[in-house]
């Protein structure tokens, strides 16, 4: 077993393994410490050059910090914001890093942000397994939900929000009153509030949020879906669709809002080279819309790792595991190209990437794209590497590891923390065929799912053992 503090991935391509390792090393540069003046946690991550701590960045960072074997705790990223909750339930999008005070911009007077806490907490629970935490933070999440509902939901059943509160604040969306992405994430919020209620065995709480999820799901499908183009759209104040084609609608895949017919059309649009099917998948704004408004859409005609992460998770949610893995691999190779550009040039990880070729996004805007924005990039280089390239899905409370792979390759993971237990799972090919070697300190349940070939769940005892795939 390795001496590394973090889980070690194994893959036939050592360059991708090195990209994973470098991501953990880069995190040291973004380490922050709180004090009595700003009220932040003792240990957390943020970009010091921004002098703000951002809600979306912090929530998204937990999806890779949960793999740090507790070396970099994920929960302070969320607790920082809970500690700032106001009496009315409000939690703002940005706070000053130095003073801890809310940072409110004129174009977002309520400091609204995409509400990602419940989704993040559900994932943290399955990677860390602390049920007591869910009980403690649930009142905070309920007050936050109530604030959002009472201030931003109207008689339509949809949520209105300023463009600055969305994930794609481009000029071509200027007429938007009911933003697609904000409503999709509010559905995500309600869905995972219900899931957290189930974890607490609170049927009333779960039913309350499930009802709200299904009501919002129905409205998104009835009011925002366009059958002809196979996309979801923003609405203006008069509830007319604004046919600006972005990835905003793909948030809906995370909670299975699209039906079977809709998902087929959404995926077809991902493959269409005139829309989102670029060489580096996937630009936030479609190819044809970017060509119509090149100046307005410049910054977001690019590939953002956080959006690629969301989209790949959505594909996996619908069982498109092979497409998810292929997309993750292509995305990682483009990231790798900018880290090792060759010809004695210095390489970087970037905030956003060019959809058509290697390299960073090509918008002629000062300060864009920023270098080494690791709190989003590591979603790809760490989380997608473990969950979609290696193919491991872990739940600590259940003591389960599911390994979903399209084909057998030499790969695996070593030194992964699972419920006070370090485990190793590695494939190898010998003269008897494909073998999985496993090592564990305690019993857990292992499911191998070779897509279209076989699926089997086995109890893995403590100690070392091996499984011959042909014998399963």
B/e letters for 89-101, b = 16+ CB within 10 Å, e = fewer, are bbbbbbbebeebe
Q: Give the pLDDT band (50/70/90) at residue 418.
A: confident
Burial class (CB in 10 A: 0-12, 13-18, 19+), 232: buried
Average pLDDT of span 272-282: 97
Q: Give the pLDDT band (50/70/90) at residue 341.
A: low
Average pLDDT of span 334-355: 84
- Average pLDDT value over all residues in the chain: 94
- In this predicted structure, the answer to whether residue 292 has a pLDDT above a threshold of 80 is yes
The pLDDT value given to residue 342: 62
Cα dihedral 272, 275, 276, 277 sign: positive
Q: Give the pLDDT band (50/70/90) at residue 166.
A: very high
Tell which wins on pLDDT, 421 or 381: 381
Tens of pLDDT, residues 186-208: 999 999 999 999 999 999 999 99
Tens of pLDDT, residues 109-145: 999 999 999 999 999 999 988 999 999 999 999 999 9
Average pLDDT of span 325-331: 97
- In this predicted structure, the answer to whether residue 389 has a pLDDT above a threshold of 90 is yes
The pLDDT value given to residue 2: 47
Tens of pLDDT, residues 47-60: 988 999 999 999 99
Tens of pLDDT, residues 81-107: 999 999 999 999 999 999 999 999 999
Please give the Cα distance from 348 to 259 (Å, whole number): 40
The pLDDT value given to residue 454: 86
Q: Which of 161-165, 289-293, 431-435, 461-465 is predicted least confidently?
A: 431-435
Give the sheet arrangement for strand 412-417, strand by strand. 8-10, 412-417, 422-430, 433-440, 463-468
- In this predicted structure, the answer to whether residue 1 has a pLDDT above a threshold of 50 is no
The pLDDT value given to residue 405: 87
């Amino acid at each position: 077993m390795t001496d590394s503090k973090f889980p070690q991935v194994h893959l036939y391509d050592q360059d991708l393994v090195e990209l994973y390792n470098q991501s953990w090393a880069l995190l040291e540069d973004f380490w922050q410490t709180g004090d009595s003046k700003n009220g932040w946690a003792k240990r957390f991550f943020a970009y010091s050059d921004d002098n703000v701590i951002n809600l979306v960045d912090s929530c998204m960072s937990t999806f890779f910090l949960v793999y740090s074997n507790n070396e970099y705790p994920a929960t302070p990223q969320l607790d920082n914001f809970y500690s700032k909750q106001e009496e009315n339930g409000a939690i703002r999008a940005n706070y000053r890093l130095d003073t801890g005070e809310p940072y409110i911009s004129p174009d977002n007077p309520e400091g609204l942000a995409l509400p990602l806490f419940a989704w993040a907490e559900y994932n943290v629970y399955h990677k860390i397994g602390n049920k007591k935490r869910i009980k403690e933070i649930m009142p905070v999440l309920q007050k936050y939900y109530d604030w959002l509902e009472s201030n931003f939901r109207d008689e339509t059943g949809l949520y209105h929000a300023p463009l600055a509160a969305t994930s794609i604040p481009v000029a071509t969306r200027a007429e938007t009153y009911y933003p697609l992405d904000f409503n999709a994430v509010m559905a995500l919020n309600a869905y995972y509030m219900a899931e957290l209620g189930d974890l607490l065995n609170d049927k009333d709480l779960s039913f309350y949020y499930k009802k709200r999820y299904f009501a919002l799901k129905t409205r998104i499908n009835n009011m925002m879906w366009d059958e002809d183009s196979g996309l979801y759209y923003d609405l203006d104040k008069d509830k007319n669709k604004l046919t600006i084609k972005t990835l905003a609608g793909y948030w809906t895949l995370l909670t299975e809002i699209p039906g079977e017919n809709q998902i087929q059309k959404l995926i077809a649009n991902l493959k269409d080279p005139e829309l989102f099917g670029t060489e580096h998948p996937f630009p936030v704004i479609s190819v044809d819309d970017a060509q119509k408004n090149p100046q307005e859409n410049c910054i977001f005609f690019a590939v953002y790792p956080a959006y690629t992460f969301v989209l790949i998770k959505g594909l996996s949610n619908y069982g498109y595991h092979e497409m998810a893995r292929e997309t993750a691999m292509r995305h990682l190779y483009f990231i790798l190209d900018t880290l090792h550009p060759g010809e004695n040039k210095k390489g970087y990880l970037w905030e956003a990437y060019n959809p058509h070729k290697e390299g960073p996004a090509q918008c002629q805007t000062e300060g864009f794209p920023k270098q080494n924005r690791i709190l989003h990039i590591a979603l790809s280089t760490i989380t997608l590497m473990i969950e979609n390239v290696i193919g491991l899905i872990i739940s600590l409370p259940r003591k389960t590891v599911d390994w979903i792979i399209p084909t057998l390759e030499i790969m695996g993971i070593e030194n992964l923390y699972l419920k006070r237990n370090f485990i190793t799972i590695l494939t190898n090919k010998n003269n008897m065929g494909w073998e999985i070697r496993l090592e564990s300190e305690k019993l857990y349940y292992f499911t191998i799912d070779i897509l279209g070939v076989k699926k089997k769940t086995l109890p893995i005892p403590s100690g070392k053992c091996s499984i011959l795939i042909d014998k399963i």
